[in-house]
């Protein structure tokens, strides 16, 4: 029997100008939601899904409602859930009309013969799997709409930055591992652009023999290096924190400013987080059930 553990992140980024207390409250509530599942004997997959849903529903984060709008003012969301028992995953990309993409990703994994759906086909599949569609407009937060309008008036529009992708890693009482990752992508992304988050091995990975990971940051940098596969492979020789930093140090040695972050749970129950961005909010639950949250700043 293993001691259940969970850690969540709210996205690597600058986090400048955000209400830090509100951001930490959000990740704390998410960790608690996942922990409640684990404590009741639920699986790691159920726990990471349960932890991700409130973050998708919270407009402070770049996932679900509150996702960054693309250059046309639309929400396009990506999500990935992984199951370390038999190294399985379900993923969706560029979904536009599903309130909680992580629920759809899980159903792709558990209720279809496939692994990955994208675009309109993913939205259509949601209906077939019993998930009601919402309008794309319902996914747009007031703050993101105001930011989109400001971007339209600006002479130079920043693009490519992230802040607020969400993720979770967990180990359950039976020692099974899982990860979840959900995002609206990067600021002012092009229509159809998909980052690392739904890509197995890049945005998330889990293997019961080693551990589980969820990544965040600039997807174009993360996916080239299959960052989550790399960090989980490193768990053979190191605890979660050491492996997380080693993976990011490697990334930094190959890309000058990778702008990436990781949360990791080892098969030994160790938890770790690392990031190269200015900040990354995380929350986790101690063995005694107390929830901790922190706005991590660069080491």
Positions in the binding site for ligand ASP (CB under 6 A): 11, 62, 162, 165, 183, 185-186, 195-197, 216-219
Lookup: tokens for 1? 């029997």
Q: Closer CB to ligand ASP, residue 37 or residue 93? A: 93
Whole-number Å distance between alpha carbons of 61 and 16: 13
Q: How far is the CB of 78 from ligand ASP (least distance, A)?
A: 6
Q: Closer CB to ligand ASP, residue 79 or residue 125? A: 79
Q: Closer CB to ligand ASP, residue 43 or residue 70? A: 70
Task: Identify whether 165 is a catalytic site residue.
Answer: yes
Q: Closer CB to ligand ASP, residue 183 or residue 270? A: 183
Whether 237 contacts 261, CB under 8 Å: no
Q: From the candidates 43, 52, 163, 165, which is the catalytic residue?
A: 165
Q: How far is the CB of 173 from ligand ASP (least distance, A)?
A: 30
Whole-number Å distance between alpha carbons of 176 and 235: 15
Q: How far is the CB of 258 from ligand ASP (least distance, A)?
A: 11
Q: How far is the CB of 271 from ligand ASP (least distance, A)?
A: 19
Residue nearest to ligand ASP (CB): 162
Q: How far is the CB of 53 from ligand ASP (least distance, A)?
A: 18
In sequence order, the β-bridge partners of residue 170 are 6, 178
Q: Closer CB to ligand ASP, residue 42 or residue 204? A: 204
Could you list the active site residues? 165
């Amino acid at each position: 029997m293993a001691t259940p553990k969970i850690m969540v992140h709210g996205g690597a980024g600058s986090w400048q100008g955000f209400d830090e207390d509100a951001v930490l409250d959000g990740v704390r509530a998410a960790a608690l939601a996942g922990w409640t599942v684990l404590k009741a004997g639920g699986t790691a997959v159920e726990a990471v899904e349960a932890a991700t849903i409130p973050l998708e529903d919270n407009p402070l984060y770049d996932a679900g409602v509150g996702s960054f709008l693309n250059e046309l003012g639309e929400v396009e969301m990506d999500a990935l859930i992984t199951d370390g028992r038999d190294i399985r995953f379900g993923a969706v990309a560029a979904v536009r009309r599903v309130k909680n993409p992580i629920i759809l990703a899980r159903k792709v994994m558990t209720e279809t013969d496939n692994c990955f759906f994208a675009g309109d086909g993913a939205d259509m599949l949601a209906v077939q799997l019993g998930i009601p569609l919402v309008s794309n407009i319902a996914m747009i937060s007031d703050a993101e709409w105001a930011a989109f309008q400001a971007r339209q008036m600006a002479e130079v529009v920043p693009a490519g930055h992230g802040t607020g992708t969400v993720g979770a890693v967990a180990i359950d009482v039976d020692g099974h591992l899982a990860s979840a990752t959900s995002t609206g992508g990067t600021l002012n992304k092009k229509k159809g652009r998909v980052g690392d988050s739904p890509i197995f091995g890049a945005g998330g990975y889990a293997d019961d023999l080693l551990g589980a990971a969820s990544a965040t940051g600039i997807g174009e940098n993360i996916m080239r290096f299959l960052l989550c596969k790399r960090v989980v492979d490193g768990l053979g020789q190191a605890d979660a924190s050491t492996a997380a930093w080693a993976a990011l140090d490697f990334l930094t040695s190959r890309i000058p400013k990778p702008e990436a972050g990781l949360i990791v749970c080892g098969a030994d129950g160790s938890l770790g987080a690392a990031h190269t961005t200015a900040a990354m909010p995380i929350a986790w639950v101690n063995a005694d059930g107390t929830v901790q949250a922190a706005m991590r700043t660069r080491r």
